[in-house]
């Protein structure tokens, strides 16, 4: 008899937790939107910093699913997300052609930079363009971490190899297959070069003790990194968020984010 009572208690405990759990699922009243986003702008903490003000005012909640741009597009295409934030225009044009989005909003930009081991910085002093830097890495067979994950950063990296007119098939070329943060960790451990966006790099800089900026140039077209927001026409209410991204309030949040985490202008408003 004693046994039975104990078992009953165990079952009661589990049922209680289940009921408790279910009540949590249905707890919030606000409308939820799933937004597939590229890792770089999410991992930097940017989205979590600028969206709560909007969420509060409009009684909505954004659920960000942070994956590489390629996967974000797949998730959006399958209809598993209501909106998308990525930094690869060609993907968006594709979505537009398939009538999955009506248009897109460019809202912030930063720059791609080449980072690499501190002790090799001097070798790149006279380099005049990013493709020249890439060619130098290839020539010396230096270690280079590539995300190789169909992300926007990877697509840009391939574009630069093409400009440099070399194939990224040398011995030092490491394919990480992971997001920006993880790939930076890898580059740091391996003392390798890597193409990254400014925001992710500066946010993690104090953990990346062997890396430093090797080459940057805001004037090079191939190094501009613009983030876009787009949404499914079925979720027309999200146009509000698109206009919010162009508002004064948003601009102020961007500058306070820059101040708080970087002490300089990293994310720039796109006109």
Partner 1 sequence: MLANVVLSTLVVCIPSTFLAVLIGVPAGYFLKIKRFKYRKMIVRIVYTLSGLPPVLAGLLVYILLSRKGPFGFLDILFTKWAMIITQVILIVPIVMLYTLSGLKNIDRVLENLDYLSVKGRKRYTAIVREYSKEIIYAIVLGLSRAISEVGGVLIVGGNIEGSTRILTTAIIFEITKGEFSNALMLGLVLLAISFTFNTILQILQGDVFD
Contact residues for partner 1 (CB under 8 A)?
2-4, 6-7, 10, 14-15, 17-18, 20-21, 24-25, 34, 39, 43, 48, 63-67, 78-80, 178-179, 181-182, 184-185, 203-204, 207-208
Report the candidate in 32, 34, 33, 64 with the shortest Cα–Cα distance to residue 46.
Answer: 64
Rounded to a whole number of angstroms, the minimum distance from the CB of residue 61 to partner 1 is: 8
Rounded to a whole number of angstroms, the minimum distance from the CB of residue 137 to partner 1 is: 23
Question: Between residues 56 and 165, which has the closer beta carbon with respect to partner 1?
Answer: 56
Question: Between residues 137 and 204, which has the closer beta carbon with respect to partner 1?
Answer: 204
Question: Between residues 7 and 236, which has the closer beta carbon with respect to partner 1?
Answer: 7
Find out whether 178 and 186 touch, Cβ atoms under 8 Å.
yes
DSSP state of 262: T
Rounded to a whole number of angstroms, the minimum distance from the CB of residue 161 to partner 1 is: 25
Angle CA(55)–CA(57)–CA(60) in degrees, nearest 5?
35
CA distance linking residue 98 with residue 78, whole number of Å: 12
Rounded to a whole number of angstroms, the minimum distance from the CB of residue 57 to partner 1 is: 18
Question: Between residues 106 and 213, which has the closer beta carbon with respect to partner 1?
Answer: 213
CA distance linking residue 92 with residue 73, whole number of Å: 8
Beta-bridge mates of residue 211:
117
Phi and psi at residue 219, to the nearest 5°? -85, -15
What is the separation of C-alpha 215 from the centre of its chain, rounded to a whole number of angstroms? 21
Question: Between residues 78 and 221, which has the closer beta carbon with respect to partner 1?
Answer: 78
Rounded to a whole number of angstroms, the minimum distance from the CB of residue 153 to partner 1 is: 14
Report the candidate in 238, 253, 197 with the shortest Cα–Cα distance to residue 47.
Answer: 253
């Amino acid at each position: 008899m004693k046994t039975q009572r104990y078992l009953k208690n165990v079952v009661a405990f589990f049922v209680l937790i289940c009921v408790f759990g279910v009540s949590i699922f249905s707890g919030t009243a606000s409308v939820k939107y799933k937004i597939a986003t590229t890792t770089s702008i999410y991992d930097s903490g940017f989205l979590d910093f600028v969206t709560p003000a909007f969420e509060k005012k409009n009684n909505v909640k954004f659920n960000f699913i942070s994956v590489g741009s390629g996967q974000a597009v797949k998730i959006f295409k399958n209809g598993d997300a209501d909106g998308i934030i990525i930094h690869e225009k060609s993907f968006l044009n594709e979505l537009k052609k398939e009538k999955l989005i009506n248009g897109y909003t460019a809202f912030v930009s930063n720059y791609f930079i080449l980072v690499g081991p501190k002790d090799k910085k001097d070798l790149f002093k006279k380099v005049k363009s990013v493709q020249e830097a890439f060619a130098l890495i290839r020539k010396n067979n230096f270690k280079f971490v590539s995300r190789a994950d169909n992300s926007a950063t990877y697509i840009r990296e391939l574009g630069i190899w093409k400009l440099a007119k070399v194939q990224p098939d040398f011995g030092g070329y490491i394919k990480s297959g992971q997001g920006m943060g993880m790939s930076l960790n890898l580059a740091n451990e391996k003392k390798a070069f890597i193409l990254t966006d400014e925001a992710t790099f500066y946010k993690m800089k104090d953990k990346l003790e062997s890396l430093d900026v090797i080459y940057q140039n805001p004037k090079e077209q191939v190094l501009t990194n613009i983030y876009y927001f787009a949404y499914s026409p079925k979720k027309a209410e999200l146009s509000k968020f698109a206009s919010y991204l162009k508002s004064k309030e948003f601009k102020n949040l961007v500058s306070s984010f820059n101040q708080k985490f970087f002490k300089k202008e990293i994310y720039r408003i796109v006109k």
